[in-house]
Amino acid sequence: MFTFEIDEEITLKLLNESDAEEMFQLIDNCREYLREWLGWIDGTKNVYDSKQFIKGCIRLYEERQGLTLGIFFHGKLAGVIGFNSFDWTNRIGVIGYWLGNQFQGEGIMTRAVIAVIDYGFQQLGLNRIEIRAAYENYKSRAIPERLGFMQEGQIRQGEWLYDHFVDLIQYGLLASEWDSERGF
């Protein structure tokens, strides 16, 4: 199974069914916070739903269509990051992420995104990495902006969140623009 130790605090690992209980508890404890920007929260009602999500992630990993990793901070599941999809013909990966609110402000997500970018460019041979975030989700948008992604446009009403559409900001980064040695 895929496991990557970023530093003494953070480990990324491929989720497995034994993580379903901890994942569900994290989502359930942060439900209101996460619901603001994640449209799938209401569909996660119990541990079984988390287990089904993890099974789907494993299948996508085995088929080389995605790579979903748990973010473990001091051994506790803090959130999820990964490539939601790959376009192997054009060597593009699309990163998505979320973090429980009790883990905010520790630099966890920035370090995790850096590690995933490095992996995508160096190990997977991607040429381009994309991130999309809701226009008003400033915390999520701050990460690609901090890491040198180019804001490439706004996708009007690009995502449905429960009872309304939100605009998405599209960010892109090319392998030739990434310097993994800059250290954040």
- Position 100 scores a pLDDT of 97
Instruction: Give the span between the Cα atoms of 156 and 40, in whole angstroms.
Output: 20
Q: Has this prediction a pTM greater than 0.85? A: yes
| Residue 79 placed within a domain | yes
Instruction: Give the span between the Cα atoms of 16 and 32, in whole angstroms.
Output: 25
Overall domain count for the chain: 1
pLDDT digits (tens, 9 = 90+) for 34-83: 999 999 999 999 999 999 999 999 999 999 999 999 999 999 999 999 99
| Residue 184 placed within a domain | no
Q: What is the largest CA-CA distance in the chain?
A: 43
pLDDT digits (tens, 9 = 90+) for 102-142: 999 999 999 999 999 999 999 999 999 999 999 999 999 99
Terminal alpha carbon distance of the chain: 27
| Residue 168 placed within a domain | no
- Position 180 scores a pLDDT of 63
Give residue 164's identity as a one-letter amino acid code: H
Looking at residue 43, which CATH number applies to its domain? 3.40.630.30
Three-state secondary-structure class, residue 16: coil
- Position 183 scores a pLDDT of 45
| Residue 160 placed within a domain | no
| Residue 115 placed within a domain | yes
| Residue 163 placed within a domain | no
| Residue 139 placed within a domain | no
| Residue 170 placed within a domain | no
**Secondary structure of 95-134 as H, E, C letters:** EEEEECHHHCCCCHHHHHHHHHHHHHHHHCCCCEEEEEEE
Q: Give me the sheet containing 67-73, strands edge to edge.
A: 3-5, 10-14, 67-73, 76-87, 92-99, 128-134, 164-174, 150-161
**Could you tell me the residue range of the domain that residue 54 belongs to?**
3-129
